[in-house]
Every structure is written in C-alpha cells, then in structure tokens.
Structure 1
C-alpha cells in the first residue's frame, strides 16, 4: 500500500491490513485442505462444513466489493451470491480469496465514497442504514475472524494444525503483545 505525498498513512490502510491478515490466514488453511476435509459434515444435523463457513466469509467480501463497483454506494449482505462451488472446492475458494485480497489492496489507492447505504432487513421493508467504507471494513474483520474461530474448532477433529493466532481478532492479538511486554522486560 502506498502513502499519500504528505507521508501520512491513508485512513483505510489499517483496516485493509487487518482484513488482509485474516484472509492470508484463511488462504493458508485452504491451501492445506483436501476437498474431502473441506466438505466433511459436522454437527448433529451435519449442516456445518469448513466449506460453508469459508463461502459465507467470501460472500460478505463479494457483497462489499460488488456494492462498490463502478462507484456504487449501496451494500446488501442479505442478498449474497452463495456460490456453492466455493463450498465444495478449497482451491476455488483460495483463488477467490486471492482475488479479494487484490481488490482490497486496490481500495487503498482509491478515494472512498463519502458515505454508503446498507440495506438491512427488518420486517417487510429493509432499513437503509448510513455507513462508511471504514465501518464496513471493521465489520468484515470481525465477521471474518468470528467464522475463522468456528473453522478452527471444526479443523481440530480433522487433525489440522493451525497457528495460535488463527481466528483471533487483531485487538486480542494486540492485547496479548501488550501483556507479553512486561514479562519480556522482566526477563531482560
């Protein structure tokens, strides 16, 4: 990501970086999965698979990026694409994650829309909520990490080793680093 001529970081840079870090972890998991493990049913009714959670994450990024295409300002997470191919084939999902990472990097060099409108269904008529790209990127970080934590739980019975930071929100990682500093200073 580039910085403006003033040398100050772009306002969205940190939010984009958090999303990119989560997506890099997700891609690492996808690169290690066989299609059989990716489709393995979990839960009493067998509704949960790694693939369904990954597809759900991708759907939300696609909804944001699709809403921004060609200068759009309307977002709708309710009417997502739900591409079942992404639930079945980890390599296809990994490629889509790579595409999303590139699109997020491109956002860093663009001027964000001043405001966005999020359609949120309540009752018969959806609400039109005012939001911003920054707010939606913050939402996507939390949403992605939430589903990655579930992925981590589902990966355990499959014997998949994940990094300790997998599915941990950046705020928690920062807290862990702050807590470790006094211990490191005592040992010095």
Structure 2
C-alpha cells in the first residue's frame, strides 16, 4: 500500500485496503458466532441483531458493485436488495464478505470512472456526481460505524474483539501518532 503525502487525497489502493481490512475484521467476528447468537435480538422491540447490521453492511457493498456492473450509471444505496438469509446465517454472510473482498481487489484494475449517486429525497430525486474513491471512502466510514455498533452488541454477550474493531482508520492513525509522540515515563520503561 502506498503512503500518500500529508494533505494529499488517499489513493484508490489505500481506500481499497481500508475497506478490505474492515471486511476482514468483520469476517473474524463472524467466525466466532453461532447462528443463535448472530440472530439474538437487542434493543427496544428486538429490532437490532448482529446479523441485521452485518447484512446492512453487505447490502451497501452490493449496491456499489451492482451499480458498477451497470456501467456506473447509478449507485443507489436506498433501493438495495435486503437478503435476509445474510442476517440469519453467519457462514453465508462470511461467504459474501469473501466475494466482496475479491470485488474490491478487482477495482484496482478498473479505469477511473465517473459515477452517479442516485439519492432520493421524498418527492425529489438527486443525481449526484461521484467517483469510486468517494464511494469507497463512504463505505469505509459506513462499515466502521456499523462495526462499532456490532462491537457494543458483541461486548454485551461476552464475544471478545480486538481493540481496533470498529475503529475508523483515521482514529487508528491518530492513536499511532499519539503513541509515537508521547514520552515514555520511568514507570513504563
């Protein structure tokens, strides 16, 4: 992975790698879950489950790749396929995540493409210009946001996760910078 100069936009390869790392962490969580735990309801009215958040993440990647397969004419995150088997069976979700990782890698060979984000607003439909880099940056943040929720839910039922699970790459970079700048005290040495 190339390291961009300070202040320069992240490279496509860097954005692909951020997404792949998040997906790999998510697969690591799925490896620890039984279908019963994966489907366990949380929250008022039982509207949340680990599976629903994982399915939601997968739906967004599927919307991006579906739009790219259609020539990039329209990416639509609102009218996405909601495959309920992915929120019921962790092994099916893990298989789909492997497929997403493969699709992410293939993006590195794709020529720069102008994308259109289809964004409905009640009675109005906005068609917003975008790029694969912008959509990958969005997907990183969206995925990490839901992984943070997954981390909280998993913690409630005693599923151990690494400290970096559900932490945005920018925060991880900040932690590394802070660790390099903080002086070591005599007690720590």
Same fold (TM over 0.5): yes
Aligned equivalent of 2:155: 156
- Extract unaligned runs of 5+ from structure 1: 3-9
Aligned twin of 1:181 = 180
C-alpha deviation, 1:184, in angstroms: 6.2
Query: How do residues 133-172 of structure 1 correspond to structure 2 at under 5 angstroms?
Result: 133-172=132-171
Query: Which residue number corresponds to residue 126 of structure 1?
Result: 125
Residue 72 of structure 2 contacts residue 116 of structure 2 at CA under 8 Å; is this kept in 1? no
The equivalences for 1:39-188 within 5 A come to 39-69=39-69, 71-113=71-113, 115-183=114-182
> 1:109–1:184: structure 2 CA closer, same or farther, 3 Å change rule?
farther
Structure 2 portions without partners, runs of 5+: 3-9
When normalised by structure 1's length, the TM-score is 0.91
Q: Describe the SS at the equivalent of 1:176.
A: helix
Write out the 4+ residue segments of structure 1 that deviate beyond 4 Å after TM superposition: 184-188
Q: Equivalents in 2 of 1:30, 1:184: separation in Å?
A: 38
Relative to structure 2, which stretch is displaced further, 68-77 or 131-140?
A: 68-77
SS for the counterpart of 1:75 is coil
Q: How does 1:13-24 map to 2 (within 5 A)?
A: 13-24=13-24
Give the TM-score normalised by structure 2. 0.90
- Work out whether residues 148 and 165 of structure 2, in 8 Å CA contact, stay in contact via their aligned partners in 1: yes
Shift of 1:70: 5.0
Q: Structure 2: how far apart are the matches of 1:39 and 1:100?
A: 22
Q: CA deviation at 1:44?
A: 1.6
**What RMSD over aligned residues (CA atoms) do the two structures have, in Å?**
1.8
Corresponding pairs, count: 180
